[in-house]
Amino acid sequence: MARDMAMPEDRQYTGARRKAKRRRKKWTRYRLMRYYIVPWLFLIPILGLHAFVVVVPAMQGVYYSFTDWSGIGEAKFIGLRNFEEMFFEDQSYIDALSRNVQWMIFRMIVPFTFALFGASLLAKVKRGAMFYRTALFMPFILPSIVTATIWRYLYNPRFGLPTLVGYDKALLGQSDTALWAIAFADNWQFWGFLMVLFLTAMQGIDPVLYDAAKVDGANRWQEFWHVTLPGIRPVVLFMMMMVMIWAFLVFDYVFILTGGGPAGATEVIAIDIYKNAFQRFEAGYAAAQGMTICLFASMVVCAFVFLRKRGWDI
Amino acid sequence: MIAKREFFLFRKQRESTAFNHIFLSILVVFSLGPVVLLAVNSFKSNAEMGLNPLGLPQEWRLDNFGRAWEQGEFERTFKNSVIYVVGTVSLALVLCGLAAYSLARKNPPGANFVMIYLLVASTVPVWLYLVPLFFLWRQLEFLNTYHGLILIYTAFNAPFSIFLLRSFLIGLPVELEDAARVDGANELQVLLKIIVPLAWPGFLTVGLVVGLSVWSEFQVAVIFTHNPEMFPVTTSYFKFTDRFGRDWSLTNAGAFMMVAPVLILFLALQRRFVEGLTQGGVKF
């Protein structure tokens, strides 16, 4: 900065052309350094690392998805055979996919209801607001393994919560309840995070709108439906999109609590990929399954972009 | 007339917050109850657990912690986890700090491209590249090493860290940096002497969030470490619950030891945690 400003003055005073030329050359080199090279030198280390950890393997993944590969030795190119097998022959993949969709539906209903309810209550409260926010957010910072331990204890059929209402079967041990039990433990940890996001958005709503609703004699529900929800709609819809994408990635809770059991009843795509890649030595097939997750995620994003184009004010 | 109306509104508001407080308290019990229960249960003996699953312990047993510490080999795994956390946090703060500074202040040609790249990269599903990454890491003999895991964690946390630090740096005044440059400081000196002291709250927030995510991380650790010597506390605890699944006092005590540092840090710095985690928004 100092030098850019000093330059023309120098030229005036010295008047010597050669000197000025040399100076300008130096000046451009300095400019090149300062505006191009140094900034990029600062960017390159982390971008290089990120590309090495994410982009390179992602491209390899795209390639391997078209191969038959055990993870060791040569990968044999087989075209679309993996995808053909996945969608037309491999029933376990279709089942896993349907479980991810169930998980997604659960996650779009239960945590969102909890979070909207909690946030709309908390937005009105002044005294103790900080305490409530901290307490309700707290489960989100727990490691998944700890949350899983807590809920394994709470679900245990000998003296856990179900026994209080006289239900003495293992929620995690039966194929028709296991997935929902896991999803609820996940909800317990997750909804506080959503709530804080919604709460922040609610605090941005113009209070005049609430006054107007009050004057019009709106009850709680009408106020929520006609003022609060439209006010935070962008955040809600964005989080819906993220939750839909994340629903295809679920791994931790299922792996820890049931490992895909009982009898494969909770096997979601990520568990299937894990087993294919690291236990059944079908790395090529696993890569293809990973590709499909990416495909579903981009479908979700495209759907939201499309709806936005169609005039849904997302 | 006006006084009457205000009085009416005031009454109505008081009425409505009572309703809010009741339901919020129920939610607090729902959220905190299980955590409190974990803490309380880690003091019970295993025999008492069945008789008194939800109450306070009749006899507070401290030796659960000692036994869990021994049996779960927490000494080693705590050390490993601390290495992963410290390594990742310092690497991420240095590299992402440099990048964020460059994006916030220098705005070099291609900066927009970098931002878009980071945004897309942070939403690409992790399962697209996790399997090939494993085989790449095996080829490089990075499996079961500290640097192998630290590099992955740093890369995974990079988009979030850069975004947060960048937005923080943009909010700082430029004048001080210019003044330093007039005094002849080079870019690195400006960064170290001016930016870091001013922006430390941003660095602290990012450090906390990254540290928390590494401390809690399970999925990557379970795939990339198989040698028990290198296990972080999460995967080692997972194996531990496999072995001692029926011994609730041991598993509760172990889990409590694992979260106690996190909980204390969270209570002390909760504003930063909440801010960092919700602004980051994207977790892997």
Q: Give the whole-angstrom CA distance, residue B220 versus residue B214.
A: 10
Q: How far is A278 from chain B (nearest CA, A)?
A: 8
| pLDDT over 90 (residue B177) | no
Domain end, chosen from A19, A36, A64, is at A64
Do residue A164 and residue A231 come from a single domain?
A: yes
Nearest CA in chain B to A248: B125
Partner residues linked to A76 by β-bridges: A68
What residue has token string 């792996």? A255
Q: Is A200 on the interface with B (CB under 8 A)?
A: yes
Task: Mention every residue, 6+ apart, whose C-beta is less than 8 A from residue A66.
Answer: A77, A78, A79, A80, A82, A284, A288
Do residue A46 and residue A195 come from a single domain?
A: no
| pLDDT over 70 (residue B264) | yes
Q: Give the whole-angstrom CA distance, residue A230 versus residue A151.
A: 35
| pLDDT over 80 (residue B64) | yes
CB contact under 8 A, B155 and A54: yes
Domain end, chosen from A35, A64, A93, is at A64
CB contact under 8 A, B102 and A55: no
In chain B, the percentage of residues whose pLDDT exceeds 70 is: 93
Say what the pLDDT of residue B18 is.
85
CB contact under 8 A, B222 and A255: yes
3-state secondary structure of B60: coil
Q: What is the dihedral of CA B144, B149, B151, B153, to 10 degrees?
A: 170
Instruction: Find the CB nearest A196 among B99, B258, B274.
Output: B274
Tens-place pLDDT, residues B88-132: 999 999 999 999 999 988 888 888 899 999 988 888 889 989 999
Interhelix angle A229-247/A178-202, nearest 10 degrees: 140
Residue A77 falls inside a structural domain: no
CB contact under 8 A, A135 and B129: no
Instruction: Find the CB nearest A139 among B16, B31, B282.
Output: B31
Residue A149 near residue B252 (C-beta atoms within 8 A): yes
CB contact under 8 A, A42 and B130: no
Q: Which residues of B touch A71 (CB under 8 A)?
A: 135
Nearest CA in chain A to B16: A124
The low-confidence residues of chain A, meaning pLDDT below 70, are 1-16, 312-314
Q: Which residues of A touch B155 (CB under 8 A)?
A: 49-50, 52-54
Say what the pLDDT of residue B280 is.
64
Residue A74 falls inside a structural domain: no
Q: Is A256 on the interface with B (CB under 8 A)?
A: yes
Instruction: Find the CB nearest A53 among B49, B151, B237.
Output: B151
Q: Give the whole-angstrom CA distance, residue A261 versus residue A265.
A: 5
Say which residue, B152 or B271, is predicted with more confidence.
B152
Q: Give the whole-angstrom CA distance, residue B10 versus residue B6.
A: 6
Nearest CA in chain A to B251: A149
Sign of CA dihedral A65, A68, A69, A73: negative
Q: How far is CA A304 from the centre of its chain?
A: 15
Do residue A169 and residue A234 come from a single domain?
A: yes
If you count residue pairs, one on A and one on B, with CB atoms under 8 Å apart, how many are there? 260
**φ, ψ for residue A68, nearest 5 deg:** -100, 115
Least confident of A70-84, B50-64, B216-230: B50-64
Overall residue count recorded for chain A in this entry:
314
Q: Give the whole-angstrom CA distance, residue A194 versus residue A197.
A: 5
Q: Give the whole-angstrom CA distance, residue A240 versus residue A234.
A: 10
Do residue A160 and residue A275 come from a single domain?
A: yes
Residue A283 near residue A70 (C-beta atoms within 8 A): yes
Q: Give the whole-angstrom CA distance, residue A191 versus residue A210.
A: 25
Nearest CA in chain A to B220: A252
Whole-number average pLDDT of chain B: 86
Helix or strand holding residue A68 (H, E): strand A67-68
Residue among A260, A305, A295 nearest A280 (CA): A260
Do residue A197 and residue A88 come from a single domain?
A: yes
DSSP secondary structure of A227-244? IIHHHHHHHHHHHHHHHH
Residue A72 falls inside a structural domain: no
pLDDT band, residue B196 (cuts 50/70/90)? confident
Which two structure tokens, joined as six digits, stand for A264? 């494969």
Residue A124 falls inside a structural domain: yes
Q: How far is A74 from chain B (nearest CA, A)?
A: 13
Task: Mention every residue, 6+ apart, whose C-beta is less than 8 A from residue A285.
Answer: A68, A82, A85, A86, A276
End-to-end CA distance of chain A: 43
Instruction: Find the CB nearest B251 among A149, A192, A248.
Output: A149
Which two structure tokens, joined as six digits, stand for A277? 């890649």
Say what the pLDDT of residue A10 is.
47
CB contact under 8 A, A150 and B37: yes
Do residue A234 and residue A104 come from a single domain?
A: yes
Q: Give the residue-averaged pLDDT of B188-200.
A: 86
Say what the pLDDT of residue B235 is.
92
Residue A227 falls inside a structural domain: yes
CB contact under 8 A, B32 and A245: no
Q: Is A153 on the interface with B (CB under 8 A)?
A: yes
Q: Which residues of B touch A269 (CB under 8 A)?
A: 127
Tens-place pLDDT, residues A262-308: 888 899 999 999 999 999 888 999 999 999 999 999 999 999 888 88
Q: Give the residue-averaged pLDDT of B139-149.
A: 92
pLDDT band, residue B276 (cuts 50/70/90)? confident
Q: Give the whole-angstrom CA distance, residue B245 versus residue A172.
A: 14
CB contact under 8 A, A293 and B258: no
A151 class by beta-carbon count within 10 Å (0-12 exposed, 13-18 middle, 19+ buried): buried
Supply the CATH number for residue A246's domain.
Answer: 1.10.3720.10
Number of domains in chain A: 2
Say what the pLDDT of residue A28 is.
77
Do residue A21 and residue A129 come from a single domain?
A: no
Q: Is A184 on the interface with B (CB under 8 A)?
A: no
CB contact under 8 A, B258 and A146: yes
Do residue A216 and residue A277 come from a single domain?
A: yes
Q: How far is A272 from chain B (nearest CA, A)?
A: 11
Q: Which residues of A touch B134 (CB under 8 A)?
A: 277-278
Nearest CA in chain A to B257: A146
The C-alpha R_g of chain B, in whole angstroms, comes to 24
Q: Give the residue-averaged pLDDT of B50-64.
A: 80
Residue A239 falls inside a structural domain: yes
Q: Which residues of A touch B123 (CB under 8 A)?
A: 245, 297, 301
**φ, ψ for residue A216, nearest 5 deg:** -75, 0
Q: Is A139 on the interface with B (CB under 8 A)?
A: yes
CA atoms within 13 A on the CB side of A27: 16
Do residue A164 and residue A202 come from a single domain?
A: yes
Do residue A33 and residue A126 come from a single domain?
A: no
* Whether the bond into A262 is cis, omega within 30 of 0: yes
Do residue A38 and residue A156 come from a single domain?
A: no
Say what the pLDDT of residue A138 is.
92
Domain end, chosen from A36, A64, A92, is at A64
Q: Which residues of A touch B282 (CB under 8 A)?
A: 242
CB contact under 8 A, B266 and A138: yes
Do residue A146 and residue A252 come from a single domain?
A: yes
Nearest CA in chain A to B184: A2
| pLDDT over 90 (residue B49) | no
**Residue A49, domain extent:** 2-64
Q: Is A8 on the interface with B (CB under 8 A)?
A: no
Residue A69 falls inside a structural domain: no
CB contact under 8 A, B17 and A137: no
Which two structure tokens, joined as six digits, stand for B278? 């919700």
CB contact under 8 A, A137 and B24: no
Residue A275 falls inside a structural domain: yes
Helix or strand holding residue A168 (H, E): none
Partner residues linked to A67 by β-bridges: A77
Q: Is A158 on the interface with B (CB under 8 A)?
A: yes
Nearest CA in chain B to A255: B219
Q: Give the whole-angstrom CA distance, residue A214 versus residue B25.
A: 26
| pLDDT over 80 (residue B202) | yes
Q: Is A259 on the interface with B (CB under 8 A)?
A: no
Q: How far is A129 from chain B (nearest CA, A)?
A: 10
Which two structure tokens, joined as six digits, stand for B32? 């905190």
